[in-house]
Structure 1
Amino acid sequence: MDKEKQVGGSRPGSGRKPQVVGAPATEPVTIKLSEDQKIKLRRLGGAPWVRERIDKAKEPTK
């Protein structure tokens, strides 16, 4: 039988590429928000806004 056309499976160079070469790795985090909070988060800037706020926040003292 002749070699059939293959569909699917892993291929060299496939898959999601990193957004920025050399950037620190990020990890997904899940939080629960109300629908109104989710809409507001999008208006505020989404994940980049959250990361900026976390980076600017002072560490809590004991």
Structure 2
Amino acid sequence: MWGSWSGYVLPSNGIGVAAGVMQVRAGVTVAGTPGMFGVVPGVLLVAHGTNNIYEGLSNIYYGHRCA
């Protein structure tokens, strides 16, 4: 039981994918604010969220936690 982490791959990475989607949505919202002040933080949020989605889905697909 304690030696195998395979039961935790889907829940933990599924939460990571959901958090990534929320970060992308927040980044698009921040980048779309009037003026140019939100562009840099918005792009950074979108990039970080995209990376979270990529890592979570690759861990779910390959079945390990080494993305």
TM tier relative to shorter chain: under 0.3
What TM-score does the superposition give when structure 1 sets the normalisation length? 0.22
**Higher helix proportion (structure 1 or 2):** 2
What TM-score does the superposition give when structure 2 sets the normalisation length? 0.21
